[in-house]
């Protein structure tokens, strides 16, 4: 185990103090629970001189949830989110996603903001300094090539693996960002730019968030859609404590025997959480083979099959599709 390098820890008490601290030192890193960032620091992946701990900022620690709307502060812990009765009752996909993250101690420390801004992952990246150096590093750090796709022409395919984002995407969440230029609201999907296109447009596994310099994720908001049922499921190698091999959130509306709305989002597969495009074409009729065949085609088209973890890429894409079908079937049949 490597020792942690020296760093200074700032503990702002207000959001204004946090924004000022961030603006004063652009190289400083924001710290939620540290359950991902501190691991990366220990592995020598990064070595920030200053960390700005957001868990003492009281205005970022509130959960407001009822049948109409949800507002979550960025410093809310995953354990509190998973245990919140109103979230469990009205936004079940989100509560289930939070409860499935890592292990119980990580969920006590880990925060909503840290989960939404989680670094992307890859077997060639989440390794010790000496391991990466022995393999000549890779594009995500200081190397010249991608070991997953040697002909990637500069594109990194490291995968986004946060579990909350897909659940929030199917619920239609917006995100509030605050920085030196003030506050702005974005549809959550616009936070993620890891499209990994070969023409270089948009970001990839290296540049995966649209945060502007000095910006902090402060809140997430959801306006409830009446009649929307939602759920979350994932597969992972160690069921008690592991990032998703693939995670799927589903939300749908059923009107009589008709599928009236369908939303699916995936994590652990692409350099961004993917809200599946084109599901509206599958709505308007019964939940039948036409819907499942259409769903398979959309998953094949939009969910990547890169080998950035121990499992083969095509296996990940297949299980993502299977999980999606299971969730949709279960939600449609629910009373």
Ligand X SMILES: Cc1cc2nc3c(=O)[nH]c(=O)nc-3n(C[C@H](O)[C@H](O)[C@H](O)COP(=O)(O)OP(=O)(O)OC[C@H]3O[C@@H](n4cnc5c(N)ncnc54)[C@H](O)[C@@H]3O)c2cc1C
Question: By CB under 6 A, what part of segment 228-247 binds ligand X?
Answer: 241-244
- Is residue 118 within the footprint of ligand SF4 (CB under 6 A)? no
Q: How far apart (Å, rounded) are the C-alpha atoms in residues 298 and 313?
A: 17
Exposure string over 258-286, b if 16+ CB within 10 A, otherwise e? ebebbbbbbbbbbbbbbbbeebeebbeee
Closer Cβ to ligand X, 168 or 252, answer by number: 168
Instruction: Please tell me what DSSP assigns to residue 310.
Output: S
Point out which span in 39-47, 48-56, 87-95, 117-125 binds ligand SF4 (CB under 6 A).
117-125
- Is residue 307 within the footprint of ligand SF4 (CB under 6 A)? no
Exposure string over 146-160, b if 16+ CB within 10 A, otherwise e? bbbbeebeebbbbbb
Please answer whether residues 60 and 31 qualify as being in contact, where contact means their C-beta atoms are separated by less than 8 angstroms: no
- Is residue 91 within the footprint of ligand SF4 (CB under 6 A)? no
The least distance separating ligand X from the CB of residue 53, rounded to whole angstroms, comes to: 9
- Is residue 271 within the footprint of ligand X (CB under 6 A)? no
Question: By CB under 6 A, what part of segment 113-132 binds ligand X?
Answer: 113-115, 117-119
Across the chain, the runs of DSSP E, i.e. the strands, are: 8-10, 29-31, 50-53, 63-65, 69-73, 174-179, 182-187, 216-223, 229-235, 246-255, 258-267, 274-275
Mask 132-161, x = binds ligand SF4 (CB under 6 A)?
A: ------xxx-----xxx-------xxx---
Closer Cβ to ligand SF4, 107 or 272, answer by number: 272
- Is residue 216 within the footprint of ligand SF4 (CB under 6 A)? no
Using a 10 angstrom Cβ sphere, with 0-12 exposed, 13-18 middle and 19 or more buried, the burial of residue 211 is middle
Point out which span in 58-66, 91-99, 118-126, 210-218 binds ligand SF4 (CB under 6 A).
118-126
Q: Give contact residues for ligand X (rule: CB under 6 A).
A: 29-37, 39, 54, 74, 78, 101-102, 106, 109-111, 113-115, 117-119, 161-163, 216-217, 241-244
């Amino acid at each position: 185990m490597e020792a942690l390098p020296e760093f200074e820890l700032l503990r702002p008490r207000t959001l204004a103090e946090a924004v000022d601290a961030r603006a004063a030192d652009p190289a400083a890193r924001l710290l939620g629970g540290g359950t991902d960032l501190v691991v990366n620091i220990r592995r020598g992946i990064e070595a920030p001189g200053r960390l700005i701990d957001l868990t003492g900022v009281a205005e970022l620690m509130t959960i407001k949830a009822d049948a109409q709307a949800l507002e979550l502060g960025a410093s809310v812990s995953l354990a509190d989110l998973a245990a919140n009765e109103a979230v469990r009752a009205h936004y079940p996909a989100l509560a289930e996603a939070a409860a499935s993250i890592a292990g119980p101690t990580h969920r006590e420390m880990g925060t909503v903001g840290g989960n939404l801004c989680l670094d992307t992952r890859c077997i060639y990246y989440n390794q010790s300094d000496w391991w990466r150096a022995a393999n000549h590093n890779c594009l995500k750090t200081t190397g010249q090539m991608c070991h997953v796709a040697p002909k990637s022409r500069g594109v990194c395919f490291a995968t986004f693996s946060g579990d909350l984002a897909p659940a929030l995407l199917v619920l239609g969440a917006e995100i509030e960002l605050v920085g030196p230029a003030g506050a702005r609201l974005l549809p959550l999907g616009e936070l993620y730019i890891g499209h990994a296109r070969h023409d270089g447009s948009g970001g990839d596994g290296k540049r995966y968030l649209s945060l502007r310099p000095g910006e902090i994720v402060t809140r997430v908001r959801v306006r409830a859609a009446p009649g929307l049922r939602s759920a979350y499921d994932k597969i992972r190698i160690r069921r008690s404590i592991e990032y998703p091999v693939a995670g799927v959130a589903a939300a749908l509306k059923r009107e009589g025997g008709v599928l009236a709305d369908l939303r699916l989002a995936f994590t652990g597969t692409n350099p961004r959480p993917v809200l599946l495009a084109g599901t509206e074409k599958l709505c308007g009729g019964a939940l039948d083979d036409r819907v499942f065949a259409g769903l398979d085609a959309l998953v094949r088209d939009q969910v990547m099959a890169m080998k950035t973890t121990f499992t083969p890429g095509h296996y990940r894409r297949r299980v993502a599709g299977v999980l999606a079908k299971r969730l949709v079937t279960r939600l449609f049949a629910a009373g």
